[in-house]
Amino acid sequence: MKVSGPWLTRDETQAVCAMLTDAGHLALLVGGCVRNALLGMPVADIDIATDARPERVMDLAQAAGLRPVPTGIDHGTITVIAGGLPHEVTTLRRDVKTHGRHATVAWSDDLAEDAARRDFTMNALYAQADGTVIDPLGGLPDLENRRVRFVGDANARIREDYLRILRFFRFHAWYGDPARGLDAEGLAACAAHAGGLPRLSRERIGAEMRKLLAAPDPAPAVASMQAAGVLAQVLPGAEAGALPVLVHLEGGLAPDWRRRLASLGGADVGQALRLSKADARHLDLIRSGAESPCAAAELGYRHGQATATDIVLVRAALMQSPPPPNWQADIARGASATFPVSAADLMPGVQGAALGARLTALEDRWIASGFTLGRDDLLA
């Protein structure tokens, strides 16, 4: 079996592989690039496994006129820049000691040892520069059946890094077979070790949740997270019930993790997931808007078309009911409306706090009219 595609045959990637093989070392594409290529999905990041030690990779890259960056040299990773494109080159490794968040590693020359320390069988697939696939752990059947399965003992893999619990659900959302459901052994292990999640940084948890919620349909995975007690660990108070309704209501709308996160609820979500200030503000806006009585047209006027759409959809999902009739047209009408009165129209007769109050009252009256009252009507 072979993989193919422009990601593999481009000159930059072949140059990095040749840099290693010409010096007598292994150069094997590994992980997501091989997995996605076999699934016919887009390939983004290029990871390469080699038996060359990190310092050797640095020397070879410099000699080849490429730019090496020691982004993770302690764990064997050198980012080799070729033609402006990054390639993560990592020495074959085996775990010496794990801590639940990271591992102490030793270099290895054994491909099976390197594969055995990976999280899922579908990520333990390698390919030579010509595309020939190497499957040291027999993971191809799992990939073909879209079954996300831990390498070896699921409990041991999770104890090595508790982030793998969240990755298990995220990978199922992206690559799993919805009809098959989650791997029973993996799900049981995630439930058993959910109490280890607080050992992780909130930044790592937040990054995984964003990726999970950006999947085409994350609802089954999130429901399983809740059943396993995982959702309560990362988002106390969150509920998964509205998410499948929201995904259905979205129709052809592009997935937005913030919209979907708003449907889950929960307390102090911005802090729990270490969201940026901008994302936290947008999340709060959706949640407060969904709880407000504002009609679709007013939401469009006050928040713009995109945010108003998020609010209406989340509100409908939480209420387990369809959005109101003509809601999209109402949002568009409100988003295009311009309040016809300015402060200058009321001055100098009205000033100070009274000016702001008067403008607000006129604006409320204008909105209540369906944006139909003109300037003269309002001022009269």
* Side chain identity at residue 359, one-letter code: L
Q: What is the CATH number of the domain that holds 56?
A: 3.30.460.10
Question: Predicted confidence band at 100 (pLDDT cuts at 50, 70, 90)?
Answer: low
No. of helices (H) and no. of strands (E), the chain: 21, 9
Q: Residue 289's pLDDT is what?
A: 97
pLDDT single digits (tens) 282-295: 999 999 999 999 99
pTM of the model: 0.91
Is residue 245, in this structure, part of any structural domain at all? no
Is residue 162, in this structure, part of any structural domain at all? no
Question: Predicted confidence band at 351 (pLDDT cuts at 50, 70, 90)?
Answer: confident
pLDDT single digits (tens) 295-349: 999 999 999 999 999 999 999 999 999 999 999 999 999 999 999 999 998 888 8
Is residue 293, in this structure, part of any structural domain at all? no
* Side chain identity at residue 90, one-letter code: T
User: How far is Cα 194 from Cα 336, in angstroms, rounded to an integer?
Assistant: 48
Domain that holds residue 345: 340-380
pLDDT single digits (tens) 143-183: 999 999 999 999 999 999 999 999 999 999 999 998 889 99
Other Cβ atoms closer than 10 A to 141: 12
Q: Which positions ≥6 away from 305 have C-beta within 8 Å?
A: 331, 332, 335
Question: Predicted confidence band at 95 (pLDDT cuts at 50, 70, 90)?
Answer: confident
Domain end marker among 144, 161, 194: 144
Q: Which positions ≥6 away from 8 have C-beta within 8 Å?
A: 29, 33, 37, 127, 129, 131
Number of domains in the chain: 2
Is residue 375, in this structure, part of any structural domain at all? yes
Domain end marker among 92, 125, 144: 144
As a whole-number percent, the residues of the chain with pLDDT over 90 amount to 90
Is residue 68, in this structure, part of any structural domain at all? yes
User: How far is Cα 93 from Cα 311, in angstroms, rounded to an integer?
Assistant: 48
- Which 3 state secondary structure label does DSSP give 270? helix
DSSP category for residue 183: -
Is residue 351, in this structure, part of any structural domain at all? yes
Omega within 30 of 0 (cis) for the link into 54:
no
- Which 3 state secondary structure label does DSSP give 326? coil
User: How far is Cα 275 from Cα 24, in angstroms, rounded to an integer?
Assistant: 46
User: How far is Cα 304 from Cα 289, in angstroms, rounded to an integer?
Assistant: 12
pLDDT single digits (tens) 185-241: 999 999 999 999 999 999 999 999 999 999 999 999 999 999 999 999 999 999 999
pLDDT at 97 over 70: no
Domain end marker among 90, 111, 144: 144
Mean pLDDT of the chain: 95
User: How far is Cα 165 from Cα 167, in angstroms, rounded to an integer?
Assistant: 5
